[in-house]
Every structure is written in C-alpha cells, then in structure tokens.
Amino acid sequence: MSELRLRRVGQEIKKVISDLLEKGMKDPRLKDSLVTITHVLVTPDFKYAKVYVSVLDDAKAEDVLNGLNSAKGYIRKEVGSKVKLRFTPEFSFVLDKSMEYAMDMSRLIDKVRKEDEERS
C-alpha cells in the first residue's frame, strides 16, 4: 500500500473528526475542553487507526479520552459516511504529549542560554 495514500486517508479522517469536535458533540466531557487532533496513523489494511489527541487543559485530558472512547461508534459512523473506504477503521485515541515535550525542551534551552550568559 502506498505510504502517500495512507497519509492522505489519515488527513481526511483527521478533518472529519476535527469537524465533529468543532461542531460540538453531545458529550459534556468534550464540549468544555479545547481538543485538537494532531495526527492520525492508519494501518496498511485500513482496519485500524490511531488518533493522536492534544488537550489544552491537562486536568481534563483523561475525561476527554473517556468521552472520545465512549463516542467511538458515532465517530466511526460519521467517518464512514464522509470518507469513502471499503472498511471504516476502528479508532483508538491516544493522548499526544509532543507539545508538552516541546515546551519542556524550550524551557531547558532558555535555562541553558541564561546560565551561559551569566557566565560570560
């Protein structure tokens, strides 16, 4: 299977799920949180997809994941109606910590620069 096609399908799924979250879902765990779909990895057979989710408020991250997991059926139905595939993938939602990691690295770099300036 073409790597390009897998990425394109992942991007389409990301758009559909992002639109669903933007329009608002009925689950209160998803309404009050700022949730971003960072990327979607689809298996070559298109049966499974791992959806990486970033949540602005870390305290609500578990609630958001629980809300998304409880809405898997609805999300799968909507993706199936909007993205034309032979199989609609089963989704697993994973918390994406890359933003936190990037912020920590940025803080460390700033700290080292500041210490370096103090020495000179």
**For 28-43, what is each residue's pLDDT tens digit?**
777 767 888 899 999 9
State the DSSP code for 48.
E
Distance CA 17, CA 10 (A): 11
CB 82 within 8 A of CB 112: no
Q: What is the dihedral of CA 38, 24, 83, 9, to 10 degrees?
A: 0
- Quick check: 73 pLDDT over 80? yes
Q: CATH assignment of 3-119?
A: 3.30.300.20
pLDDT digits (tens, 9 = 90+) for 58-70: 777 888 888 888 8
| 86: its two tokens | 């032979």
What are the residue boundaries of the structural domains of the chain, listed by start? 3-119
| 107: its two tokens | 């803080």
Radius of gyration of the chain (CA): 18
Measured CA to CA in angstroms, residue 63 lies from 1, 3, 47, 54 at distances of: 35, 33, 26, 12
Compare 119 and 31 and report the one with higher pLDDT: 119
